[in-house]
Amino acid sequence: MTASPDAATSGRADGRIVVVTGGARGIGRAIVDRFAAEGATVVIGDLTDPGNVGAGLDVAGHREWVPLDVTDEASVLEFAETVQAGHGGVDVLVNNAGIMDTRSIRDETVADWDLAMAVNLRGPFLMAKHLLPLMEGRDDPAIVNIGSIEGLGANALHASYAASKAGVHGLTRALAVDLGPMGVRCNAVAPGWIDTDLNRGYVDKHPNRDQAVAELASLHPVGRIGDPADVAGTVLWLATPDAGFVTGQVVTVDGGRMTRLSLPASLADD
């Protein structure tokens, strides 16, 4: 079982200004909630209104929404100006916004490809570029990019997604090298199969949902699929002084799935 993030909160982000792109739902929302529970002021950058962002928040943190299109440089600049006017700076940038489609390379259009690259790769580049002036001089500023195990391997029919996430991992290493002398750390988290609304909808289409869930769980040495809180906890750690000597890393959060070597069913030990 995954522990509730509220069970282990200790004010590890008190007073921090945290930006999370794509924070309206899924993994992004879990990251927002965890930082807020730890005392941060969290600015959600998203095209989608996350609704009552303060609902259920009974700790010192604060959440707010500023509309943002990470693919549009003008939108990113306007977002940066709004955050600077409201908060004076940024301590943590979490580049979470992303999209994924499933299609054959034969069916993938140039527009499809360009959109995946714009959201998944251009977005983190633009956010880092234009929020960097707000991060310089802060106490242990950090960038955390959300990559994927598909930046390390690939599922079928995911060419643009896998390529874009591999790019995120490369961008992470490059930013760590270039921004380190400015005091800015940059790392990435590569989630595996996480129980988000998107993935749940995919599983729900299976004719035998329970079998699909059990088979997914069996791929992981820990015996379960991931929870958004698993990713959020890792992102939080990477953004704290506890990870102060960690930069340029891609931290895989996949329950051991990528570590286990596959065997044919006839040779696999139960």
- In this prediction, residues 119-123 reach a mean pLDDT of 98
DSSP letter at 160 equals H
Residue 139 confidence (pLDDT) above 90: yes
Q: Mean pLDDT for the chain? A: 92
Residue 198: what pLDDT?
78
- In this prediction, residues 242-265 reach a mean pLDDT of 95
Residue 2: what pLDDT?
44
Residue 221 confidence (pLDDT) above 50: yes
pLDDT category, 262, cuts 50, 70, 90?
confident
**Per the structure, how many domains does the chain have?**
1
Residue 53: what pLDDT?
62
Give the number of C-alpha atoms closer than 13 A to the C-alpha of residue 99, restricted to the C-beta side. 17
Q: Which domain holds residue 28?
A: 5-194+227-253
Residue 39 domain-assigned (yes or no): yes
Residue 269: what pLDDT?
65
Instruction: Please state, for a pLDDT cut of 90, what percent of the chain lies above it.
Output: 84
**Between 52 and 89, where is the model more confident?**
89
DSSP letter at 120 equals I
> Which range among 66-80, 156-170, 255-269 shows the weakest confidence by mean pLDDT?
255-269
CB 61 within 8 A of CB 38: yes
| Domain CATH code at residue 247 | 3.40.50.720
Residue 9 confidence (pLDDT) above 80: no
Residue 200 domain-assigned (yes or no): no
Interatomic CA distance for residues 200 and 226, integer angstroms? 12
Q: Judging by beta carbons within 10 Å of its beta carbon (0-12, 13-18, 19+), is residue 78 exposed, middle or buried?
A: middle
Residue 268: what pLDDT?
72
pLDDT category, 148, cuts 50, 70, 90?
very high
Interatomic CA distance for residues 13 and 28, integer angstroms? 17
Residue 103 domain-assigned (yes or no): yes
Among candidate residues 83, 75, 96, the one with its CA nearest the CA of residue 25:
96
- In this prediction, residues 220-249 reach a mean pLDDT of 97
User: How many of the other CB atoms lie within 10 Å of CB of 60?
Assistant: 16
Residue 270: what pLDDT?
58
pLDDT per position as a tens digit, 39-59: 999 999 999 999 866 554 444
Residue 267: what pLDDT?
83
Residue 267 domain-assigned (yes or no): no
Phi, psi of 146 (to 5 degrees): -95, 105
pLDDT per position as a tens digit, 160-212: 999 999 999 999 999 999 999 999 999 999 999 999 887 887 788 889 999 99
Residue 49 domain-assigned (yes or no): yes
Task: For residue 120, give Cα distances in angstroms to 127, 161, 229.
Answer: 11, 8, 21
Interatomic CA distance for residues 119 and 53, integer angstroms? 23
Just list the catalytic residues.
161
Residue 47 domain-assigned (yes or no): yes
Residue 14 domain-assigned (yes or no): yes
Residue 10: what pLDDT?
79
Residue 241 domain-assigned (yes or no): yes
Q: Judging by beta carbons within 10 Å of its beta carbon (0-12, 13-18, 19+), is residue 214 exposed, middle or buried?
A: exposed
